[in-house]
A = this chain, B = another copy of it.
Amino acid sequence: MAFFDLESPENNETDNLVWLGHLSPDSDTIGSAIGAAELFGGEARRAGELNKETAFVVEYCGVEVPKLISKVEGQKVGLVDFNQKTQLHKDVDNGDIVAIIDHHAIQDQPITFNTPVSVDIRPWGSAATILADRFEKMGKEMSPTTACVLLAGILSDTLVFESPTTCPVDKPYAEKLAKIAGIEDLYDFGQKMMEAKSDLADVSTYDVLKGDFKHYEINGKKVGFGVAETLLPEQLLERKADLLSEMEGEKAKQGLDFIFFAIVDTKTKNAHLVVYSDAEAELAAAAYGYTTEANLMYLPGLMSRKSQLMPAVQATLTA
């Protein structure tokens, strides 16, 4: 493995270098991959199909949709926006990985290495914020289109600064990026992204479930947790029976011990948890302290899988 160091990009070998985010790619994972490729060299790749919001973002920003990752000889892979094995595309071997830039906790199934690899994890609102900071600290200008997709990453992951995962640096960087991208009203851009994401009428229930779905392994238990952030929660609550049916199939197919799906109402900032069976109801009761009624648990004030929903499950399963 050639020496690769995030701190000295001018010395890195960039032939066959690609930047890749997690499965079920979202706006932060795609924006960060594009940003990292511009900053460090190489090309952005994706690990699956884009959701509606991210499809809107790449069109709005005028960037090409990154190609799907595939096995290449001598491949070097930089990861953005995740660090868990359960979220790594199967075409990537651990030995190919040269760097990780992320804003998630190191949890039970981190990608491991035989030799040291650059890891930059910060408790920030998005991986895109870290990329924006790295551009600035390295004194490197970015293209307006890259500024646009990085801005989208921040807006998406922080729910336009309303998510509890938002940190003090997210908004200032978003404003700088908007300026470079030539976007006058970033709130309007954020609103358009939320609307694109919310319009799920013509999306199959299976794709709704899997649109932002992550796998975790905690204390030997496999947990699948999907989230839909929407301005139109009713549209999904009406599909509860179909969602439960798709969750049943997915739980069996993936061999999960628990499966959850949270419908996050981005207007009122509350969530409705779809609870598949008694096993999930018991875990959710211990994690969140509420009761399940007709396969639904109302979670007032909870919006973030990363900083609220999963930490409670993690703490319960490791207690």
Q: Are A11 and B119 in contact (CB under 8 A)?
A: no
- Contacting residues of chain A (107-148) with chain B, CB-CB under 8 angstroms: 107-108, 110-124, 133, 137
Residue in contact with A119 in the complex, picked from B119, B306, B315, CB distance below 8 Å: B119
Q: Are B115 and A106 in contact (CB under 8 A)?
A: no
Residue A285 lies at the interface, judged by CB distance under 8 Å to chain B: no
Residue A268 lies at the interface, judged by CB distance under 8 Å to chain B: no
Copies of this chain present: 2
Q: Are B112 and A118 in contact (CB under 8 A)?
A: no
Q: Interface residue count for A (Cβ, 8 Å)? A: 38
Q: Are A103 and B116 in contact (CB under 8 A)?
A: yes
Secondary structure of the A contact surface, majority rule:
loop
B contact residues around A107 at 8 Å (CB):
112-114
Q: Are B116 and A5 in contact (CB under 8 A)?
A: no
* A291-319 contact mask (Cβ, 8 Å, vs B): 1 or 0: 00000000000000011000100110000
B contact residues around A314 at 8 Å (CB):
114
Contacts A116-B121, A120-B120, A123-B116 given; does A167 touch B106 at CB 8 Å: no
Measured between alpha carbons, how far is A306 from B117 in the docked complex, in Å? 12
B contact residues around A112 at 8 Å (CB):
105-108, 110
B contact residues around A169 at 8 Å (CB):
5, 7-8
User: Could you list some 20 contacts between A and B, CB below 8 A?
Assistant: A4-B123, A5-B122, A5-B169, A7-B169, A103-B116, A104-B116, A105-B114, A105-B116, A105-B117, A106-B112, A108-B112, A114-B314, A115-B311, A116-B121, A116-B122, A118-B121, A118-B122, A119-B119, A119-B121, A120-B121
